[in-house]
Homo-oligomer: A and B are copies of this chain.
């Protein structure tokens, strides 16, 4: 291809609307253009990269035996009402009525289509397991679309659905897909972490998120810097710090006027926040629950709620303190009545001689000591994890990371097949609900996530598997016929040996072409310009490393191919 004949309107300036790198660079490098909020056109460069991602996904799906189909986008709503998702999605789904006033929905995911599709053919156990997939645009009417392709209202997904006889079959189908997902992200050059996660609006029992590690990600995860531990932020449990061997001091009351927060009391008494003890008060279905954590830690309400599920966990409000007689800001565990359930995080064992509330306004105590001055009814991991916590496996340092959900897989069981009456005939002749799994990969999202992980000040740095072209031949002096002929020759020869090359033959200054080559992010740049030409040389740049080299013009094709072979 020749850039002079391609629609690649790169931008010199950063678009004002773009807050993050992938959004900014995919606009600047002319991969996409915005049509309206959260809705983008894919330009020729973007279309090439998207098709490469799609091809990788399809190959890996085909290799699992999953079968490509294609389901509609405009859907009747009845199945969505039966599964309850018409309500669950609410305004997040695009809803419309056809000319006859029949309600329809633009598919945000397609369990409600695929389960009736399979069930309508009266499958037998002999037809299972079965796995169907499609690559199709999906729709979510995000309240606030932003971050370009990362939170778009129209996005390209691969969605697959497995159908099994039983849970054991589901687990096997799930395992096969899990491994295919690992291969997909590996081939796309995307660094992902895999965590068990919140099932969200899809539901089911077991599910895993494939998070592309990126600062701009909306999902948090925790991992050990030694690489042996990884979890969703809500599921992560740090190793408890070693227990304190400090000798107990006496319990002494001190005046702390107006010190209703950890910050103020620390400052007034000149102690570090981690030497103070917080008692965070909750109402759990009417019962009072106190959670003790060091003053520098936060209680994870999600962990507490999970512990008490299905009871409703509610943090004390001002009124609760008042009516139940607790001195808000000065609560200490020393005076808890018998019917208060006292939880503590294991980190409380690591401290001693705590500064804590005296259960009177403007007063704290020092020297509060476990078992002597206060009791704990139950020890449980209840802190929000943070970078610097210790790994439960090897004691290494944990770090909290952020990731972009690039894939999400679910063991659904009968969550959809139940309400949709999607059954199969088992060997004994009875009808049983199909046991389903659901497996999504965001294809347009992968394109953005790769850019988040792989860019620099100059622009995008594509892994070669996803680059729109593998090599750009930059014709630096377009008005010199001999140089042009040489660039054309190298460009043609690269194509002839199966390399995806593009020739930058535009009537632009060399500087513009170099900047665009960096911006668009072709893995290898071959420069044919006046200076090198006079020496009989072509110049090369490996985009990922910035490494430059030269080779005789006659060897330029071999040199480019060799550089490409070792490029990431």
Whether B40 lies near A72 (C-beta < 8 A) is yes
With A98-B94, A99-B143 in contact, is A74–B126 under 8 Å at CB? no
A529 interface contact, C-beta 8 A: no
The residue on B at minimum CB distance from A130 is: B7
Interface string of A117-153 (1 = CB under 8 A from B): 1101100001100101000010101010000000001
Kindly specify which of A18-26, A31-39, A242-250, A269-277 makes contact with the partner chain: A31-39
A76 touches B7 (CB 8 A): no
Stretch of A62-70, A318-326, A474-482 that contacts chain B: A62-70
Query: In the complex the two chains form, what is the Cα distance from A472 to B143 in whole Å?
Result: 51
Of the candidate stretches A41-49, A172-180, A355-363, the one touching chain B is A41-49
Query: With A9-B121, A35-B75, A35-B76 as given contacts, are A70 and B47 in contact (CB-CB < 8 Å)?
Result: yes
A36 touches B76 (CB 8 A): yes
Query: Do A94 and B96 touch across chains, with their CB atoms under 8 A apart?
Result: yes
**Contact assessment for A47 and B76 in the assembled complex, using a CB-CB cutoff below 8 Å:** no
Chain B hits for A106, CB < 8 A: 74, 96
| CB-defined contacts of A552 to chain B, threshold 8 Å | none
Contact pattern, A 48-68, Cβ under 8 Å of B = 1, otherwise 0: 101100000000000001011
**A171 on the interface (CB 8 Å rule)?**
no
Task: Give the Cβ gap from A112 to chain B, nearest Cβ, in Å.
Answer: 10
B96 touches A69 (CB 8 A): no
Selected from B44, B74, B91, B121, the residue in CB contact (under 8 A) with A69 is B44
A16 CB → nearest B CB, Å: 15
Q: Are A41 and B141 in contact (CB under 8 A)?
A: no
- Complex CA–CA separation, A120 to B33 (angstroms): 10
Nearest CB of B to A281, in Å: 38
Asked if A117 and B68 make an inter-chain contact with CB atoms under 8 angstroms apart, the answer reads: no
Partner of A96, one of B67, B96, B117: B96
Chain B's nearest CB lies how many Å from the CB of A261?
39
The range of chain A's interface size is: 35 or more
Kindly list chain B residues whose C-beta atoms are within 8 Å of the C-beta of A96.
94-96, 106
A99 near B6 (CB under 8 angstroms)?
Answer: no
- Measured between C-beta atoms, what is the minimum distance from A122 to chain B in Å? 9
Known A33-B117, A94-B96, A99-B141: A126·B41 in contact at CB below 8 Å: no
Q: Give the nearest-CB partner of A75 in chain B.
A: B35
Which among B5, B67, B126 is the interface contact of A65 at CB below 8 angstroms?
B5
Chain B residues closer than 8 Å to A132, beta-carbon distance? 7, 44
A439 to B161, CA, bound (A): 36
Task: Assess whether B139 is in contact with A7, with CB atoms less than 8 Å apart.
Answer: no
Q: Are the C-beta atoms of A39 and B99 separated by less than 8 Å?
A: no
Let me know if B39 and A7 touch, CB within 8 A: no
Check if B141 sits within 8 Å of A72, measured CB to CB. no
Contacts of A67 in B (CB 8 A): 6-7, 44
User: A400 contacts the other chain (Cβ, under 8 Å)?
Assistant: no
B74 and A41 form a contact (CB under 8 A)? no
- Which residues of B have CB within 8 Å of A104? 36
| Min CB–CB distance A83 → chain B (angstroms) | 16
In the complex, what distance in Å separates the CA atom of A124 from the CA atom of B47?
Answer: 23
| Bound-complex Cα distance A71 to B156 (A) | 12
A73 at the interface (CB under 8 A from B): yes
In contact, B154 and A73 (Cβ under 8 angstroms): yes
Which listed residue, B68, B74, B76, B139, touches A94 by the CB 8 Å rule? B74
Residues of B within 8 Å of A94, CB to CB, are 74, 96, 98
Chain A positions 171-200 with a Cβ under 8 Å from a chain B Cβ:
none
Determine the residue in chain B with the shortest Cβ distance to A444.
Answer: B70
Q: Which B-chain residue is minimally distant from A43 (CB atoms)?
A: B69
Q: Which residues of B contact A73 (CB under 8 A)?
A: 73, 137, 154
Q: Is A113 part of the binding interface, using a Cβ–Cβ cutoff of 8 Å?
A: yes
B507 and A41 contacting across the interface, CB-CB below 8 Å: no
Residues of B within 8 A of A50 (CB): 70
Residue on B nearest A40 in the bound complex, by CB: B72
Contact A47 B69 (CB under 8 A): yes
Task: Provide the bound-state CA to CA distance between A75 and B153, in Å.
Answer: 11
Residue of B nearest to A2 (CB): B65
A288 to B528, CA, bound (A): 76
Alpha-carbon separation in the docked complex, A35 to B43 (Å): 32
| 8 chain-A/chain-B pairs, Cβ below 8 angstroms | A7-B67, A35-B75, A35-B117, A36-B76, A39-B72, A41-B72, A41-B117, A74-B106
